[in-house]
Structure 1
Amino acid sequence: MNVLKPVLSLAAALLLSVAAAHATVRTETGLAESQAGASETYRLNVPTEKGVSTTQVRLVIPAGVTVTRFQVLPGFIRTIRTNEAGLITEVTWKGRIAPQEYARFFFQARNPEQAGTLSWKVYQTYSDGSVVAWDDTNPEQTPASKTAVK
């Protein structure tokens, strides 16, 4: 049994690192929760998990969230898509995140007035043309990042 314990600990550590290694949206301080109606600075953390570079990151803004501004990130070009009301619905950053690197994209937004769960959908494009959809199409492998609004 003593031999099995270190193996199980190593397996658990590897599973935790894999589960945590994906595109996530958190508050500036790293929380997965915020207050209803609050203005918040969010950070989108995107690691490159393949042997090729990430070349594009597209974030779909959850309904009810009003994005107001972005932090400049040298080396990236940002484009936005808006709806008929002029609200930002998608943001795309084009640039390069090399293998074994990550980038953090900061933006300010106002949360919805109602409590609930925000589901942030992120589409990560690699230089080989493949796209990883962090959007819950496969929640076990590519979950969307969630923020609890209370």
Structure 2
Amino acid sequence: MSRFKTPLPLSAALLLSFAAAHATVRTETGLTESRAGASETYRLNVPTEKAVATTQVRLVVPPGVTLTRFQVLPGFTRSVARNADGLITEVTWRGRIAPEEYARFFFQARNPAQPGEVAWKVYQTYADGSVVAWDDTDPGQGPASKITLR
């Protein structure tokens, strides 16, 4: 008696691979939930989905989230934009993620004090100059990652 399940139809398998492949922000352990007001380690997972390398990743920090530190990722340089209060509003990593590879960028942040949902917008630039916006603005591109704060 086999414990293997029947394979998914090709259309369902393609849909699942697309849904799982986009740039995502999750907690360090892979969750889409965290506690309001808590300090959390997050990971931004960025796969290269084209035949050319990813050369830049820009993360827009959701309102109310305070970034506090970053894990060093060899081969990448990091720059930040700050608002008038000195809080980080955007992070840009420059480097190379080859086709069929992915990178994980870890950072620590303090969540907003109020429960709700925060949306992480990510802009992925490829070596050919194209930009994929993971920000909910264009249905043809991709959704922003969302974390629910309880």
TM-score by length of 1: 0.93
Q: Which moved more, 1:10-19 or 1:114-123?
A: 10-19
Q: CA deviation at 1:9?
A: 2.7
1:32-76 Cα distance to aligned partner (Å, 9 max, x none): 110000000000000000000000000000000000000000000
Contact 2:132 2:141 in 1 (8 A): no
SS in 2 for 1:36: coil
Mapped to 1, the partners of 2:128 and 2:22 lie a distance apart of 18
Mapped to 1, the partners of 2:8 and 2:103 lie a distance apart of 32
How many residue pairs align between the two structures? 145
Partner residue of 2:59? Answer: 59
Q: CA deviation at 1:29?
A: 0.1
Q: CA deviation at 1:144?
A: 0.5
Q: CA deviation at 1:10?
A: 2.8
Partner residue of 2:40? Answer: 40
Partner residue of 2:142? Answer: 142
| Alignment pair present for 1:86 and 2:86 | yes
Q: Which moved more, 1:38-47 or 1:139-148?
A: 139-148
Mapped to 2, the partners of 1:8 and 1:70 lie a distance apart of 39
Q: CA deviation at 1:11?
A: 1.9
Structure 2: tracts of 5 or more residues without a match: 1-5
**CA RMSD after TM alignment:** 1.3
TM-score by length of 2: 0.93
Contact 2:61 2:89 in 1 (8 A): yes
Structure 1: tracts of 5 or more residues without a match: 1-5
Q: CA deviation at 1:140?
A: 6.1
Matched residue type, 1:14: L
Partner residue of 2:117? Answer: 117
1:7-40 Cα distance to aligned partner (Å, 9 max, x none): 8633212211111110000000000110000000
Identity of aligned residues (%): 77
Partner residue of 1:131? Answer: 131
